[in-house]
Amino acid sequence: MPNSDTQESRIVVKFPFSLAPYKAAILPLMKKDGLAQKALEVFTDLRSKGLSLSYDEAGSIGKRYRRQDENGTPLCFTIDYETLSENTVTVRNRDTMEQSRINLDEIESYLIRFLDRA
């Protein structure tokens, strides 16, 4: 729902985590400065472990979040400048829109814990 006349409405498909076609999306904040390269590394590594993931680098981060909401993707992991400097990522929950930071090495276990709660 839009908050004002100037904002777009948010369409959310709330697949249960276990039924979502993609469990998470890996999103570089921007294509430059090595962020897209790092995001592709993370995506490739997690996909090699059998996780069903999406990768998207087209458009603004807000538009990519909305696109993933429309696809029913429950979680988005954003690769940003802190990923490069501190080895952390931002994780965004589709249903609550809450964002938090976790260690890059914890993405796989985070997804597994999320699946166990589903």
pLDDT, position 52: 93
More confident residue, 73 or 5: 73
Whether pLDDT at 2 is above 60: no
Whole-number Å distance between alpha carbons of 31 and 77: 15
Whole-number Å distance between alpha carbons of 13 and 59: 20
7 — pLDDT class (breaks 50, 70, 90): low
In sequence order, what are the beta bridge partners of 54? 25
- Per-residue pLDDT tens over the stretch 18-60: 899 999 999 999 999 999 999 999 999 999 999 999 999 999 9
- Per-residue pLDDT tens over the stretch 68-108: 999 999 999 999 999 999 999 999 999 999 999 999 999 99
User: Mind listing the domains of the chain with CATH numbers?
Assistant: 17-117 (3.40.50.800)
Whole-number Å distance between alpha carbons of 40 and 42: 5
